[in-house]
Amino acid sequence: MTVVSLEHAVAAPFCTRQLADLGARVIKVERPGSGDFARGYDQRVLGQSSHFTWINRSKESLALDLKQPLARDALMQLLGTADVLVQNLAPGAAARMGLSYEALHAGFPRLIVCDISGYGADGPYRDKKAYDLLIQSEAGFLSITGTPESPSKAGISVADIAAGMYAYTNILSALLLRGRTGEGSHIDVSMLEALGEWMGYPMYYAHEGAPPPPRTGASHASIYPYGPFVAGDGGTVMLGLQNEREWQAFCDKVLQKPELAKDLRFDSNAHRNQNREALQTEILRIFGTLTAEQVVQRLDVAGIANAHVNDMAGLWAHPQLDARGRWRTVQTPQGDVPALLPPGLNSAFDYRMDAVPSVGEHTAQILASLGWSASQIGALQSGHVVAD
């Protein structure tokens, strides 16, 4: 499959990288010179952007100034060879260039067009600009994330990633549909609707005006004990209980206070949730006599789910990722970097893990494959219509 993407930032590039991982040819259309503005977010990866390095491997970069008629002609010619067009330009920008599904369908009936935007193709918010933090706010994510005193955004671009994943799965579905009908289709993915879907539990928790889940930091909003607890050596252990059998085991084998299981303040999750402060005091008093590793050992014996509170160094060095052989090496314009394989092992194929492109790296090659002569390509390069 060939995917042409007018993409920048995170949502669309994240979507198309998943397709590239599966072997699709992804042609990333960028501005000559600067390229995708996400290339300039930071310089943390050998002088390159961390976001860009993460979500742009295995792609070809075609640098075109789409304000120029010849560049648009080249793009339309390329779309004649494509299976999918993905775009997350500013609201209405693709349509103004004649790249709406309605404009393209007559000439390219098998083409699947996927538009990713903040709020969707219609409605009163259609033309509003949308960035990840703004969508986290609009979708109510900030209202349930953080501490009681301070709402907090997610530490990753959760709205962009949600939209990118729904675009990806919708494209896979559209390819299956085209295999039956022979016709392409239009996909309209909204960041608000994508993150709104992920907000399903807190929405239903607050059904018909009920109080919403409180902001509880790293603790669970409705299950207790479920969250971080500090041990006597200053280490933090994350643990979670799911049912009354686990609560009994927690009291018997971890706290070593079996009588606590029948305490009327704590004899159901609802009661434990209502009496968090009192139970926290009991837990921390006992954990304060133990090291974090001793707490983990007791939790493992009791069959209680637990985890280390890792930082990024801990994730890079995670023994489970290493044991399962999850690391590969990917080339970038400034050198090789380690990269995680995509989630999911398939017995039938290996994932594609090719290089991160420089701006316009494949422009001449792509145009030549479309039949453009060296002199034509040179004329476009000298006029800065395409990248040199």
Point out the catalytic residue in the list 8, 105, 207, 220. 220
How far, in Å, CA of 365 to CA of 377, rounded? 10
Q: Are 241 and 223 within 8 A, CB to CB?
A: yes
Q: Identify whether 319 is preceded by a cis peptide bond (ω within 30 of 0).
A: no
Consecutive H or E run containing 113: strand 112-117
Consecutive H or E run containing 5: strand 2-6
* Residue corresponding to tokens 């399903």: 200
345: its two tokens: 């092992």
Tell me, yes or no, if 51 is annotated catalytic: no
C-alpha distance from residue 302 to each of 243, 255, 289, 296 (Å) = 13, 10, 18, 10
User: For residue 254, which of 223, 279, 218, 217 has the smallest C-alpha distance?
Assistant: 279
* Residue corresponding to tokens 């479309």: 370
- Work out the number of other CB atoms within 10 angstroms of the CB of residue 340: 14
Question: Measured in whole angstroms, how far is the alpha carbon of residue 141 from the centre of its chain?
Answer: 15
Catalytic residue set: 220
